[in-house]
Amino acid sequence: MKPTDERVQQLPHLARLLMVLTAAVVLVIVVVVTQLYGPPAAPAPGAEEDEATQGPPPAGSYHRPVPPAPDTATIPRTAAGRQIRYGRELIAHTAQYLGPQGSVAHLTNGMNCQNCHLQAGTQGFANNYLAVASTYPKMRARSGTVVGIEQRVADCMERSLNGRAVPDSSREMRAIVAYIKWLGKDIPKGKKVYGTGFMKLAYLDRAADPVIGQAVFAAKCQSCHGPAGQGQPLADNSGYQYPPLWGPASYNDGAGLFRVSNFAKYVKAAMPFGATFDHPQLTNKQAWDVAAFVNSQPRPHLATPRDWPDIRKKPVDHPFGPYADAFSEKQHKYGPYQPIEDAHPQPAKAQ
């Protein structure tokens, strides 16, 4: 072999060595960088967590969102603290103060905020309040206006509690708002956290079925909520042991829970009582079908002529027309929803 040939052969050898060395250096850098800046095992407190990125529940999150609600034992023993405690009390035992026999006023039906916002709005995905302070005031498509916490609370009093709202300046409204703000005090403005609001629930590829839902109701709900969905009143009639699901004492048809998707998401994460989002007791189908059944039963009507001023923003399952598409009221109410969503260039988001 001539010397020139030898040099030619050594060149690729050197190049290979260089490549291996470079690869090793890059690998070391990648490992170090991921250790330092990589994704944390659990979402950091205050991490932005929108519904779409909900993912599987973090370990040990039973009953609790991440971060958990502040400990009520830390509510200060001051005038401000007393107001927060009164707000929590009003949410847990609304009927006692504002219901048909309320000690403060007779404004709402016999239900409590806590019937739907479990554990005073702190249970994970059970209509949880933790992100309210950080995300309100906000633009709501339902009203077409910017809505503050007071207005949002008033909406639930008029719709979910089928009554009238306490005035913004009342001792009761100030206390409810103080409690909700205290709950969200550790969450940075504009951020949501895992476990707030409702969970995400995949659509069925068929319409939710009230007939199947009736069987689910009989098997899994009626023992507490009663054969006619009427609930179980407390002995002194001041409220309910088990709240009504339909009939004159239930939420009206302008309420958020009257939307089949909201009802299905709520019961998937919360019912039968004792269920949680990480220990659900209903299959997705049972949740959708029982939602269809309950929301096809009679209940109070609320005229809401000013809702959804821009009909293009109605959520796909809004049960009342007019719509910006040609799908029927029935399909909007019960589904299948995917074809409706596909027909919208920018699918209306649940509000």
Chain residues in the site for ligand HEC (CB under 6 A): 91, 94, 111-118, 127, 129, 131-132, 152-153, 156-157, 160-161, 176, 197, 220-221, 223-225, 242-245, 251, 255-257, 262, 266-267, 271-273, 282, 290, 294, 351
Sign of dihedral through CA atoms 48, 52, 57, 63? positive
Measured from the CB atom, the residue of 204 and 290 that comes closer to ligand HEC is 290
CB of 336 to ligand HEC, least distance (A): 21
Measured from the CB atom, the residue of 22 and 232 that comes closer to ligand HEC is 232
Residue 330 CA to residue 48 CA, distance in Å, equals 36
CB of 156 to ligand HEC, least distance (A): 3
Measured from the CB atom, the residue of 75 and 120 that comes closer to ligand HEC is 120
Measured from the CB atom, the residue of 95 and 340 that comes closer to ligand HEC is 95
Measured from the CB atom, the residue of 118 and 187 that comes closer to ligand HEC is 118
Measured from the CB atom, the residue of 114 and 276 that comes closer to ligand HEC is 114
CB of 79 to ligand HEC, least distance (A): 21
CB of 196 to ligand HEC, least distance (A): 6
What is the 3 state secondary structure string of the chain? Answer: CCHHHHHHHHHHHHHHHHHHHHHHHHHHHHHHHHHHHCCCCCCCCCCCCCHHHCCCCCCCCCCCCCCCCCCHHHCCCCHHHHHHHHHHHHHHCHHHHHCCCCCCCCCCCCCCHHHHCHHHHCCCCEEECCCHHHHCCEEECCCCEEECHHHHHHHHHHCCCCCCCCCCCCHHHHHHHHHHHHHCCCCCCCCCCCCCEECCCCCCCCCCCHHHHHHHHHHHCHHHHCCCCCCEECCCCCCEEECCCCCCCCCCCCCHHHCHHHHHHHHHHHCCECEECCECCCCHHHHHHHHHHHCCCCCCCCCCCCCCCCHHHCCCCCCCCCCCCCCCHHHHHHCCCHHHHHHCCCCCCCC
Measured from the CB atom, the residue of 156 and 340 that comes closer to ligand HEC is 156
Measured from the CB atom, the residue of 75 and 131 that comes closer to ligand HEC is 131
CB of 26 to ligand HEC, least distance (A): 45
Helix axes 284-294, 210-220, angle to 10 degrees: 100
Burial state string for 320-333 with b = 16 or more CB within 10 A and e = fewer than 16: eeebebebeeebbb
CB of 133 to ligand HEC, least distance (A): 9
CB of 266 to ligand HEC, least distance (A): 6
Measured from the CB atom, the residue of 34 and 53 that comes closer to ligand HEC is 53
CB of 280 to ligand HEC, least distance (A): 10
CB of 227 to ligand HEC, least distance (A): 13
